[in-house]
Structure 1
Amino acid sequence: MSFEKLGLSPYIAKSISKLGFLKPFEIQEQTIPSILKGKDVMGIAKTGSGKTLCFVAPLLQKIQHQQYEKSRAIKALILVPTRELAVQIEQTFAGLQEALRREVQTQAVYGGTSINPQMKNLYGTEILIATPGRLLDLMDHNAFTLDQLQYLIIDEADKMFQLGFGDEMAKILKAVPAKKQSILFSATLNDKVEEIKSTLKINPEVIEVKNENKEETIENIEQIAYQVDAETKGPFLRYLIKSQELEQVLVFVSSTRTADNLVEKLKKNKIKAMAIHSKKSQGARMDNLEDFKLGDIHVLVATDLIGRGIHIEGLPTVINYELPRSPLDYVHRIGRTGRANQTGKAITLLTEEDLHHFKVIQKKMGKKVEIESTDDVNLHGY
């Protein structure tokens, strides 16, 4: 199956191949034709399965053929939970633009940075990628109109409808026209499907790509866990990074305070590290992420919400310094590696208090993870 056979133009298909997609993933095969036909779609597939391309390519194909008139009227609105995800989606649009008959005007807007440049650049924007809070700020400033909105896309829909975005989403959805194409994507929606259908007043084609077994969701990820004492967890992390010569590792923690403390200790031990979390300015977050991608930083320490939006091609290693609350968040974390059929490694550090919770996580994901002892590891000097 080729992207052209899905209904995409040969020019867009060529640009897609330059992004590294040689053939469609299953979620792309099943959703792109329906989206091109104008159907409401709810796509559910595992993390790292290429969901972004499912809506980016059809939107560009459709809008490039429309007449461009510079105005404040937005044609497509894409709602996302994090700033990082907004930027990455904007970059995907940019990567497909070169083959179009005309450039489709896109812009990502998010908090943590000045609103004035975003307001100025909105004039003439056709596709707007936005976090809910900043979108409402811009609506209050009358920076754009949704009267002529044709497409509403909600990415990471499970997070958008349960992470405290309720009031903001209600205001936004009230402002969008009833007649539009609605497209939603998520790694999982579970019991939210019917609620979302009712909220949006749609009856979408629900396309869920299921794996034949639970292990397939994380089939490309080598998982290993180490049991450590609470007081030796930090030194053991540094031991792992240095002894295994890890030059690009994403470390997950549960709080911003832990992230900052961990980075400080890594730096003291001559390990190039930075933190990325909600209390950092948007500029600092983007700079740190770019430095990490370029290899100037070897360790990026992130909290769950921020880490959810991080996508790095070929990320080799993820470390759970602290366990997340839910098994689903664990899968999302380790899913930052082993993406798009590449291999990856996920390491988890466990104290005795974590063992029961980790058993629950293993049971939920349907995979047993070997837990190794660290009693014989010499941590002197770490």
Structure 2
Amino acid sequence: MSEKHLTDTRFDSFDLAPGIQQGIAEAGFTYCTPIQAESLPIALTGQDLAGQAQTGTGKTAAFLVATLQHLTVHPADESRRANQPRALMVAPTRELAVQIHNDAVTLTKHTNFTSAVVFGGTGYEEQRRQLQEGVDILIGTPGRLIDYLKQGVYDLRAIQVIVLDEADRMFDLGFIKDIRFMLRRCPKPGKRLGMLFSATLSYRVKELAYEHMNNPQNVEVEPEQVTAENVREVCYMTANEEKIPLLIGLLRNLENARTIVFINTKRTADKVWGFLQGNGIETAVLSGDVPQKKRLSLLKKFQNGEVSVLVATDVAARGLHISDVSHVVNFDLPEDAEDYVHRIGRTARAGASGDAISFACETHAFSLPDIETYVGHRIPLESVDQALLAEIDPKSRIYPEKGSRNQRHQKDGRKSHGKGHHHRGHKRPDGSGKPHHRRRSKPPEGGGTQ
């Protein structure tokens, strides 16, 4: 975290248990970020809070530290059973839930607290067994959490702390009924500590907070500008057929870069991945129907630098904290201006700098005015210099693994019109089987274990 984005408040200035302080020190935290400095004094007194802050500002550490201290100061009831967790942390996506759990493991290293993460798409019996054996801190996505809850694998009657992360995203993804279902099965708001965090404290988010929390105190931390201040933005006005050559040309000129390329649809993501792979650029693709184990493996390879380019649909735009992303490329401009902010927010995190490159093509250029209005400034425009365009052999594209739908269509030229094609298999972003409705303005991501 850049010193410019830290406060003068030190973590060791709080009266925290020694084991928690040791975990904080080993995690490399000394000074608080603004959201940590403002929210911790509130939560550590047992007061509920609703916090607004951009991603990458340290809110995960804030609610984890507050949770650990609360559980330390308020011992569990002697009648608590093993399958009754003491803290519940709910996240909208599997990747965010895994990230929270990883941070929890670090911060609880020198305590006796146990934690577990549950999410759809994999590990059903293993996660179930872990809950039955008992954990203190339960982290998960709504679908899998409710699945186990309804089966009686665990119950929420001993909950002392509840955290809702990315609350605005919960609404976007249709999880609010599930959230309310769980909250009604926890102890009354006055008997637990509640923390809610959101990129925006909209009316509906505040309504949720006041309905299910005990007079929460608002904490709002946001920069003067909507986009991260250290992001260098540029937009190329390009023809559709120039996009692939331009992307490959740009990537070839980047040194020691870690790049996320955002695409609007899964089909285009597969196409872009195929051209990058076929032209010697090692690439991972993260979209709707990538199996969970493979998703986690791809993210790990990208995080470790084994793969330098990640092609992703908006499934990866929020909730992920991948350090040291140097470049974000909007191969397709998003139709929703807010998605532009979330996408380019993958770079220039924690005070670092980064580059956001966008392609305003014939298909998606209409989104540019709305994006500029939303971010409050003009995005510098550049024309495409022919020297930037790589020479691409149309036959250099490779196709997904044998048996994939896209590959079969390319070979026989047929389109899929199977019954229920647009409705079957669309799972929620947390991996649960219950379908949800998407906004009509956005094309479906395909198969859908987001």
Common fold: TM-score over 0.5: yes
TM-score (norm 1): 0.93
Cα deviation, 1:238-278, whole Å, max 9, x if unaligned, reads 11111223541111111222222221221111111111123
Counterpart for residue 222 of structure 2: 210
* Contact kept in structure 2, 1:260 and 1:275, CA below 8 Å: yes
Give 1:11 deviation, angstroms: 4.9
Cα deviation, 1:9-68, whole Å, max 9, x if unaligned, reads 465345334434331111100101111111110000122111111101121233245369
Tell whether 2:29 aligns with 1:21: yes
Counterpart for residue 5 of structure 1: 13
Taking the TM superposition and a 5 Å limit, the aligned residue runs for 1:75-224 are: 75-100=86-111, 102=112, 104-122=113-131, 123-178=133-188, 179-200=191-212, 202-211=214-223, 213-214=224-225, 217-224=227-234
Distance, in Å, in 2 between the alignment partners of 1:8 and 1:316 is 36
Decide which of 61, 68, 72 is 2:83's aligned counterpart: 72
Distance, in Å, in 2 between the alignment partners of 1:278 and 1:337 is 22
Is the partner of 2:322 in helix, strand or coil? coil
Distance verdict in 2 for CA 1:224–1:22, change over 3 Å: farther
* Contact kept in structure 1, 2:244 and 2:272, CA below 8 Å: yes
Distance, in Å, in 1 between the alignment partners of 2:141 and 2:285 is 21
Is the partner of 1:161 in helix, strand or coil? helix
Cα deviation, 1:205-250, whole Å, max 9, x if unaligned, reads 0111133x226x4111111111111111112111111122354111
Distance, in Å, in 1 between the alignment partners of 2:337 and 2:201 is 15
Distance, in Å, in 2 between the alignment partners of 1:290 and 1:220 is 25
Cα deviation, 1:143-171, whole Å, max 9, x if unaligned, reads 11111111110000101123211332232
* Contact kept in structure 1, 2:83 and 2:134, CA below 8 Å: yes
* Contact kept in structure 2, 1:44 and 1:208, CA below 8 Å: yes
Decide which of 286, 293, 301 is 1:283's aligned counterpart: 293
* Contact kept in structure 2, 1:8 and 1:58, CA below 8 Å: no
Structure 1 residues 334-343 or 243-252, which shifts more?
A: 243-252
* Contact kept in structure 1, 2:248 and 2:390, CA below 8 Å: no
Tell whether 2:63 aligns with 1:52: no
Counterpart for residue 358 of structure 1: 368
Is the partner of 1:340 in helix, strand or coil? helix
Tell whether 2:21 aligns with 1:36: no
Give 1:181 deviation, angstroms: 1.6
Counterpart for residue 447 of structure 2: none
Counterpart for residue 265 of structure 1: 275
Q: Which amino acid aligns with 2:33?
A: F
Distance, in Å, in 2 between the alignment partners of 1:2 and 1:375 is 49
Distance, in Å, in 1 between the alignment partners of 2:125 and 2:253 is 48
Tell whether 2:338 aligns with 1:331: no
* Contact kept in structure 1, 2:55 and 2:319, CA below 8 Å: no
Distance verdict in 2 for CA 1:221–1:193, change over 3 Å: same
Distance, in Å, in 1 between the alignment partners of 2:390 and 2:350 is 39
Is the partner of 1:175 in helix, strand or coil? coil
* Contact kept in structure 2, 1:82 and 1:306, CA below 8 Å: no
Q: Which amino acid aligns with 1:156?
A: E
Pick the structure with greater CA Rg.
2
* Contact kept in structure 2, 1:255 and 1:303, CA below 8 Å: yes
Cα deviation, 1:163-217, whole Å, max 9, x if unaligned, reads 2113322322222222322110011122224321344254210111133x226x4
* Contact kept in structure 2, 1:247 and 1:295, CA below 8 Å: no
Distance, in Å, in 2 between the alignment partners of 1:54 and 1:201 is 18
Give 1:375 deviation, angstroms: 4.3
Structure 1 residues 86-95 or 351-360, which shifts more?
A: 351-360
Distance, in Å, in 1 between the alignment partners of 2:357 and 2:134 is 46
Taking the TM superposition and a 5 Å limit, the aligned residue runs for 1:333-348 are: 333-348=343-358
* Contact kept in structure 2, 1:4 and 1:10, CA below 8 Å: no
Distance verdict in 2 for CA 1:276–1:378, change over 3 Å: closer
Distance, in Å, in 2 between the alignment partners of 1:340 and 1:18 is 18
TM-score (norm 2): 0.79
Counterpart for residue 248 of structure 1: 258
Distance verdict in 2 for CA 1:64–1:197, change over 3 Å: closer
**Where does structure 1 lack aligned partners over 5 or more consecutive residues?**
none
Structure 1 residues 221-230 or 359-368, which shifts more?
A: 359-368
Give 1:108 deviation, angstroms: 0.6
Distance, in Å, in 2 between the alignment partners of 1:308 and 1:62 is 28
Distance, in Å, in 2 between the alignment partners of 1:298 and 1:318 is 12
Identity rate, percent: 36
Q: Which amino acid aligns with 1:159?
A: R
